């Protein structure tokens, strides 16, 4: 049975869904505050690990994931994203090449855009081959903030001297 809960973070309120098959959805909501309710048993590990991630204490997730009936190509992209280490980035082209299909770079971008399990499947770590931040469903400011959380030395915003 699909269950749902919410998690408050420095980035906003996240809705988490899943079942005994695994986490199937982590999405930022438009809620200004998260509903406070008991966390279903099937989602407790996911909530705990996401809390640790947002506190900067977790670098890898150890959770069952349920991609449901997603297209095989999307699942292949998401599995490649799971290989990108904390604090590092990859490019859409590198993922396409890892799938032995360099011409699929735009399809990789579309798979990222349809990633139902944000943060845990780290599509925020995928950037343009030029190094520019591109395409994140929560906007580039959120993408930068998540990358900064993971690697402040490389992604922190530069201040001004004057």
Catalytic residue positions? Answer: 123
**10 to 13, 61, 76, 91, 149: CA distances (angstroms):** 8, 19, 30, 26, 11
The continuous run of DSSP H or E covering 143 comes out as: helix 140-150
Residue 121 in contact with residue 82, Cβ under 8 Å? yes
Residue 114 in contact with residue 71, Cβ under 8 Å? no
How far is residue 132's CA from residue 83's CA, in Å, rounded to a whole number? Answer: 20
């Amino acid at each position: 049975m699909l269950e749902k809960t919410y998690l408050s973070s420095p980035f906003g309120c996240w809705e988490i869904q899943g079942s005994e098959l695994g986490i199937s959805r982590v999405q930022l909501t438009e809620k200004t505050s998260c509903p406070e309710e008991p966390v279903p048993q099937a989602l407790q590990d996911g909530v705990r690990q996401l809390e640790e991630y947002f506190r900067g204490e977790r670098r890898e997730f150890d959770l069952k994931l349920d991609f449901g009936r997603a297209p095989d190509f999307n699942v292949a992209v998401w599995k490649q994203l799971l290989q990108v280490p904390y604090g590092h980035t990859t490019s859409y082209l590198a993922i396409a090449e890892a799938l032995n299909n360099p011409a699929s770079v735009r399809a990789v971008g579309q798979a990222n855009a349809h990633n139902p399990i944000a943060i845990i499947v780290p599509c925020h770590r995928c950037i343009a081959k030029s190094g520019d931040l591109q395409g994140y469903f929560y906007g580039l400011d959120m993408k930068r903030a998540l990358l900064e959380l993971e690697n402040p030395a490389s992604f922190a915003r530069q201040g001004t001297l004057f």
